Structure 1
Amino acid sequence: MGHFALALGARRSLKPLPMAWLLFASIEPDLHDVVGNAIPMLSMGPDTHTVAGVAGAAVVVALLALLLFRQASLALGSGLLVLSHVCVDYLTSRLPLWRHGPVVGLHLYAMPWADFVLEAPVIVIGLIVYATSPDLRRPAHGGLISMGLLMLAAQAIFNFGLGSR
């Protein structure tokens, strides 16, 4: 949920980009994993969440954005959103910096409460930044509260599961 919250927050600065593009850019490394597993020819192997892999994906997404949206600032923002993915994942997970390189990260997934305490404010802040966007219509604010509660619930389910352990 934290990746989606960053996409929502980025919307304020990257207004011309469709929300679907921002959401895509925020989770591109995860999507690359899924697509690579389904279509091995498109796989990056174990590099999707390494610094080099994410930097490469950021460049590709930025170039696509430049071709599609024709503004360097939107391309740069798209690339930075892809790069944000690995930065956040190094807080929540333990991942290699490069293939066969050192594994780093706080691995907050191993401490569900700590992960939730980190992710919940990111969700709230991302929604607040999005909600204060001048181009957002007033009736949408009520939906944002529902979306925020849904995102927090999804994060809680991810961290704590549905049943008792």
Structure 2
Amino acid sequence: MTTERVVLLDEDRTPIGSELKSVVHSESTPLHLAFSCHVLNAAGQVLVTRRALGKRAWPGVWTNSVCGHPQPGEAMEDAVVRRGEDELGLSLHSIRVVLPEFRYRAVDATGVVENEVCPVYLAVTDEEPLPNPDEVMEARWTDPGPLGDALRAAPWAFSPWFVSQARDLALYAVS
């Protein structure tokens, strides 16, 4: 089993090293590289997931399909494919970046900070998710319009990065 690392960044988004994923997320999380991916099926539905209760930050919160961190030297699309398989048992294709400059900082109720440069991707799958219970406690296909309505009506029920990304993605227009 390999030990996951995250790529640390300076304010100009230049890599300056790496750190163990297991220790980087804290009350003083340094800026680092991540990604978010919104997965669609052939019917145009989007996959939403509920984070496992064992997650360090935002446990049990609904969020976008899959998130993760590229390993040092790993291509971002390869990281998206890897995490799609690891978290959801899905083969992803037609991967494309839709918010290349997305960045956020958020603090959860326990004080854990997310501080990420986090390009956002769309991908497609022809499969049903088989969630890894260490990562995802639930996964559901839903129509983007009503999901956008829910994100606007009850943003506190979702991860803050998902709410921010939805504001910027035409995919979640209010129905």
TM tier relative to shorter chain: under 0.3
Q: Greater helix share, 1 or 2?
A: 1
TM-score normalized with structure 1 length = 0.27
- Name which one, 1 or 2, has greater alpha-carbon Rg: 1
